[in-house]
């Protein structure tokens, strides 16, 4: 049994500090040491902060996360560092400063110990393209952590930190949560302040916590929102299962997610088939919305400055995005309206809807392609089909660990709730944890096994 | 081949209009992206969405509002 404080949960760290059982300075030092020891093959951390974190700790107010180290995705301004969006420089002209997220974390007593790696400019669901190098899942360092919040998920999965903040504009919290075996929650659009967030202009993206389990995600989400999230009974919830979102899946992923639904049914939930409209165009509508909002927001003079240092893939995709037709934008918005209405109608019948977070487990970094019954597809193409709905609609959405493949790669179940009903997702995730004896949230990846320490 | 040449010409002219240069690496990646995302985009462009009213004043932080009176499908 490890006695390293980063093997404690986020809530255990917070409680131990509050009770005087754990020295926050020792926790910070142990966290920085563990990052140094473990992160090499993962590349989950873009930069860690010894002196700045120590200063935050010295000035930390009392709060739910007093003295607890957390990591933040490379999309938020910190007083000592400009966000870089996984690149050499963010193209939006955002410099160092107090982002809204930073203020919320600081006011909760948390200590920002590191910035996490991410897919360059957020344009990808794999995390294998970044100025900081390809980010790996702690379950297999030759495979993708997911994107674009891959560093946050990988760092939590590897027990470098117990909580990290990600963002999700097209599934970017849920894919890495699934690939890294952690709990990720995209908050309802608009709940977090937008200032100092590189994609604050967007109508799709929102921040959220990545933690090892739902109780920690509840704690970190509460700190981010500035109010605690209550805990209610999930037993008896009605779970909508749209068959259209359960097509063309890796057999092990489908089996793992269906087993999770069966476990929830045995725990007292009711499963109901529900219909959803517009899903056949959700992928395109998501890509179109992300494109039309992202590229024009970049400052041309900065893009010209950094273009020689961009990855060839991202450089080409940024140009490709500029070819989008107005017709596609208008139609994508019709699809978005259709999906929002359809989800709202579904939520009049059920409490949440569920389908897999990703259609397949994490692909290799060297070839980020997934094998599905319909053939081989780029992971981005396959993932956004499942993840985009939550962003088009604006609803809260989570990925919760629900299984491991025979090759010991994590599987995530995706849950969506009505607008501002984050608690429902966390309640249901906790019920699933109990129903599966915490087998999947407590499973430790190879880099976090005691022998690897 | 003809389609490829047309695509290349379109890309060079469209982006050149804004002073954006395109090299062979860019074009190769764009071809791959078009191969993946082009068909579903074309399917959406071909879909009959006339029965889907637009959502005016979109606010993703909440559920969709009622369709405004006089909105056409």
The per-residue pLDDT for range B34-59, each reduced to its tens digit, is 999 999 999 999 999 999 999 999 99
> Is beta strand A111-116 parallel, antiparallel or unpaired with respect to A45-48?
antiparallel
- Give the separation between CA A212 and CA A129, rounded to whole angstroms: 25
- Point out which residues pair with A353 in neighbouring strands: A240, A416
Inform me whether the pLDDT recorded for B68 exceeds 50. Answer: no
- B66 pLDDT more than 70: no
User: What torsion do the CA atoms of A298, A320, A169, A209 make, to the nearest 10 degrees?
Assistant: -80
User: What mean pLDDT comes out for the span A368-374?
Assistant: 98
Question: Chain B window 36-55: which residues touch A at a Cβ cutoff of 8 Å?
Answer: 36-37, 40-41, 43-45, 47, 49, 52-55
Do B26 and A315 lie within an 8 Å CB cutoff?
yes
Which residues of chain B have a CB within 8 Å of the CB of A331?
A: 44-45, 47, 49
Position B71 confidence tier, pLDDT thresholds 50, 70, 90: very low
Angle at A399 between CA A395 and CA A402, to 5 degrees: 145
Partner-chain residue, chosen from A317, A322, A393, that has the shortest CB–CB distance to B29: A317
A172 carries an active-site annotation? yes
Catalytic residue list contains A89:
no
pLDDT digits (tens, 9 = 90+) for A132-159: 999 999 999 999 999 999 999 999 999 9
What pTM, to 2 d.p., does this model score?
Answer: 0.96
Taking 60 as the threshold, does the pLDDT of residue A169 lie above it? yes
H-state helical runs in A74-213: 100-107, 150-157, 174-180
Nearest to A442 by CA among A212, A257, A145, A219: A212
Angle, to 10 degrees, between the axis of helix B2-16 and the axis of helix B24-46? Answer: 100
pLDDT of residue B73: 35
Segment A412-427 shows an average pLDDT of 98
Q: Which DSSP category does A168 fall into?
A: E
Annotated active-site residue A362? The verdict is: no
pLDDT score of A247 more than 90: yes
pLDDT at A1 over 60: no
Per CB-CB distance under 8 Å, the chain B contacts of A347 are: 63
Best CA proximity match to A131, nearest among A179, A78, A169, A74 = A74
Contacts of A189 in chain B (CB under 8 A): 60-61
Q: What is the pLDDT of residue A242?
A: 98
> Region A215-242: what's the mean pLDDT?
95
Token duo for residue A141: 């360092």
DSSP β-ladder status, A140-144 and A136-137: antiparallel
With contacts defined as CB-CB under 8 Å, which chain B residues touch A279?
A: none
User: Is B12 an 8 Å CB contact of chain A?
Assistant: no
**pLDDT the model gives residue B3:** 77
pLDDT single digits (tens) A11-32:
999 999 999 999 999 999 999 9
Helices (H), A235-325: 251-266, 282-294, 300-306, 312-321
pLDDT exceeds cutoff 90 at A232 = no
- A344 touching chain B per CB within 8 A: yes
Q: Tell if the CB–CB gap between A331 and B55 is shorter than 8 Å.
A: no
Residues of A in contact with B43 (CB under 8 A): 280-281, 284
Spell out the residues 6+ positions from residue A23 whose beta carbon is closer than 8 angstroms to its own: A17
For residue A76, what is the DSSP state?
Answer: B
Rounded mean pLDDT, A372-392: 97
Taking an 8 Å cut-off on Cβ atoms, the answer to whether A203 and B60 are in contact is: yes
CA distance A194 to A101: 8
pLDDT value at residue A452: 54
Q: Predicted confidence band at A177 (pLDDT cuts at 50, 70, 90)?
A: very high
| Segment A402-427 mean pLDDT | 98
Bigger pLDDT: B70 or A364?
A364
Contact between chains at B55 and A419 (C-beta distance less than 8 A)? no
Q: Considering CB atoms only, which of B15, B30, B54 is closest to A337?
A: B54
Task: Convert the pLDDT of each residue in B18-30 to its tens digit.
Answer: 889 999 999 999 9
Is residue A435 scored above 70 in pLDDT? yes
Return mean pLDDT, chain A: 96
pLDDT of residue B1: 61
Residues 379-418 of A with CB under 8 A from B: 381, 393-394, 418
Q: pLDDT at residue A72 above 80? A: yes
Q: For chain A, how far is it from start to end, CA to CA, in angstroms?
A: 11
| B44/A344 touch (CB, cutoff 8 Å), yes or no | no
Interchain proximity A333–B29, CB inside 8 Å: no
Write out the two tokens for A272: 């109901």
The active-site residue, picked from A9, A99, A125, A148, is: A148
CB A171 within 8 A of CB A386: yes
| Average pLDDT of span A376-404 | 98
- Nearest-CA residue of chain A relative to B24? A316
Mean pLDDT along residues A34-44: 98
Q: Which of A62, A138, A100 is nearest to A401 (CA)?
A: A138
- Please report, for chain B, the start and end positions of each structural domain, with discontinuous segments joined by +: 2-46
Q: Does A338 sit within 8 Å of B49, measured CB to CB?
A: yes
Instruction: Please answer yes or no on whether B49 and A335 come within 8 Å at the CB atom.
Output: yes
pLDDT at A234: 78
């Amino acid at each position: 049994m490890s006695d390293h404080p980063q093997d404690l949960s986020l809530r255990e760290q917070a409680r131990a500090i509050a009770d005087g059982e754990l020295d926050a300075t020792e926790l910070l030092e142990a966290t920085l040491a563990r990052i140094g020891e473990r992160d090499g093959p993962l590349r989950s951390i873009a930069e860690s902060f010894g002196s700045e974190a120590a200063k935050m700790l010295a000035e930390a107010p009392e709060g739910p996360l007093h003295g607890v180290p957390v990591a933040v995705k490379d999309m938020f301004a910190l007083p000592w560092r400009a966000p870089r969006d996984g690149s050499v420089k963010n193209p939006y002209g955002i410099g160092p400063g107090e982002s809204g997220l930073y203020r919320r974390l600081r006011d909760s007593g948390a200590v920002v110990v590191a910035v996490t790696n991410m897919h360059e400019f957020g344009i990808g669901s794999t995390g294998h393209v970044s100025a900081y190098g390809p980010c790996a899942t702690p379950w297999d360092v030759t495979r993708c952590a997911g994107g674009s919040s891959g560093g946050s998920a990988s760092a939590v999965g590897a027990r470098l930190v117990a909580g990290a903040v990600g963002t999700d504009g097209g599934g970017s919290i849920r894919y890495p949560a699934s690939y890294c075996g952690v709990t990720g929650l995209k908050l309802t659009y608009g709940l977090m302040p937008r200032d100092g967030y590189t994609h604050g202009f967007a109508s799709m993206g929102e921040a959220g916590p990545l933690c090892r389990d739902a109780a920690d995600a509840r704690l970190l989400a509460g700190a981010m929102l500035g109010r605690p999230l209550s805990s209610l009974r999930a037993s008896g919830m009605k779970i909508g299962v749209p068959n259209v979102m359960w097509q063309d899946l890796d057999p092990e992923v489908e089996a793992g997610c269906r087993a999770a639904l069966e476990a929830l049914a045995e725990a007292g939930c009711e499963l109901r088939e529900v219909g959803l409209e517009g899903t056949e165009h959700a992928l395109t509508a998501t890509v179109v919305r992300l494109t039309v909002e992202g590229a024009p927001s970049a400052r041309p003079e900065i893009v010209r400055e950094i273009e020689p240092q961009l990855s060839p893939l991202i450089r080409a995709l940024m140009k490709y995005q500029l070819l989008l037709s107005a017709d596609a934008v208008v139609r994508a918005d019709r699809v978005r309206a259709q999906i929002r209405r359809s989800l709202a109608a579904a939520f009049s019948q059920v409490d949440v809807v569920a389908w897999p977070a990703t259609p397949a487990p994490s692909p290799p970094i060297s070839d980020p392609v997934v094998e599905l019954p319909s053939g081989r597809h780029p992971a981005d193409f396959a993932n956004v089909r499942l993840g985009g709905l939550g962003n088009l609609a604006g609803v809260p959405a989570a990925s919760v660990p629900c299984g491991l493949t025979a090759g010991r790669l994590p599987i995530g179940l995706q849950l969506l709730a009505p607008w501002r009903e984050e608690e429902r997702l966390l309640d249901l995730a906790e019920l699933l944890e109990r129903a599966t004896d915490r087998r999947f949230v407590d499973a430790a990846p190879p880099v976090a096994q005691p022998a690897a320490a | 081949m003809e389609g490829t040449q047309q695509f290349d010409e379109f890309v060079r002219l469209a982006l050149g209009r804004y002073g954006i240069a395109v090299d062979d690496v860019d074009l190769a990646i764009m071809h791959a992206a078009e191969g993946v995302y082009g068909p579903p985009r074309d399917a959406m462009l071909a879909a009959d969405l006339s029965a889907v009213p637009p959502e005016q004043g979109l606010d993703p932080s909440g559920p969709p509002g009622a369709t405004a009176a006089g909105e056409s499908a």
